[in-house]
Amino acid sequence: DARVTQTPRHKVTEMGQEVTMRCQPILGHNTVFWYRQTMMQGLELLAYFRNRAPLDDSGMPKDRFSAEMPDATLATLKIQPSEPRDSAVYFCASDTIGQANTEAFFGQGTRLTVV
Amino acid sequence: AQSVTQLGSHVSVSEGALVLLRCNYSSSVPPYLFWYVQYPNQGLQLLLKYTSAATLVKGINGFEAEFKKSETSFHLTKPSAHMRDAAEYFCAVSSMDSSYKLIFGSGTRLLVRP
């Protein structure tokens, strides 16, 4: 059963600490998205990769967020330093070929709480 | 630019009643539209998608949606609600720039009363 795997599922950290979230996309998918979900803003796209190349990270606060894809089986989203306003659920999603008519498959998310 | 609007942040129905969740889209080109469901503490799961092949799209769990160009709508329906349908439902449109990212509506929470 192919699925997107995210770790950790939950993370509680203190303000100022570094947070790293990991995502294993479905094998063979060439597009990876990072979304953030909050009550106020809903689902927002933070960044996406195609064939491991970062194509757009305009949705991320550049000074503290970074996204990488060191290999085809791992995508990471890092926040340094973390702030309470970063508290949200972060979703990774992957897509077979990243076209308009193909759907994204979502992981179960990482629930981040910054205190 | 593409966008979707979901009318009603909460919809409450009785078990066995018709479910109707509304979604209107805005797009300058023929859109690709999706409905996703999110159960508590879970990720989003695809219910169905419209990719211009047929205007009435059948999905999983007995849901279907009809694309109506004249009304710019893509409403989600199910004839008879089950308790297990209680979840949040998101309508989305595919962006037509090179990202093809999904642009989501604000979501509708479906409550099913016994």
Residues B95-106: tens digit of each pLDDT: 888 778 889 999
At B62 the pLDDT is 96
Q: Residue A98 pLDDT > 80, yes or no?
A: no
Structure confidence at residue A101 (pLDDT) = 76
Q: Which of B51, B88, B99 best tests the A interface by mutation, with the highest count of A CBs <10 A? A: B99
Question: Quick check: A105 pLDDT over 80?
Answer: yes
For A101, the closest of B32, B36, B105 (CB atoms) is B32
Contact B86, B111 (CB under 8 A): yes
Which of B67, B102, B106 to mutate against chain A (most A CBs within 10 Å)?
B102
User: Are B27 and B93 a contacting pair, CB within 8 Å?
Assistant: yes
pLDDT at A99: 74
Contact residues for B3 (Cβ-Cβ < 8 A; gap 6+): B25, B26, B27, B93, B103
Which residues does chain A have within 8 Å of residue B34's beta carbon, measured at their own beta carbons?
Answer: 103
**SS3 label, residue B61:** helix
Q: What is the dihedral of CA A103, B52, B74, B46, to 10 degrees?
A: -20
Measure CB to CB from residue B49 to each of A45, A98, A103 and give the nearest one. A103
C-beta of residue A67 within 8 angstroms of C-beta of residue A54: yes
pLDDT in tens, A31-84: 999 999 999 999 999 999 999 998 888 889 889 999 999 999 999 999 999 999
Q: In chain B, which residues have their Cβ closer than 8 Å to the Cβ of A48?
A: 99, 101
DSSP conformation letters of A72-90: TTEEEEEESS--GGG-EEE
pLDDT at A103 over 90: no
Q: What is the pLDDT of residue A96?
A: 84
- For residue range A10-33, list pLDDT tens digits in order: 999 999 999 999 999 999 998 999
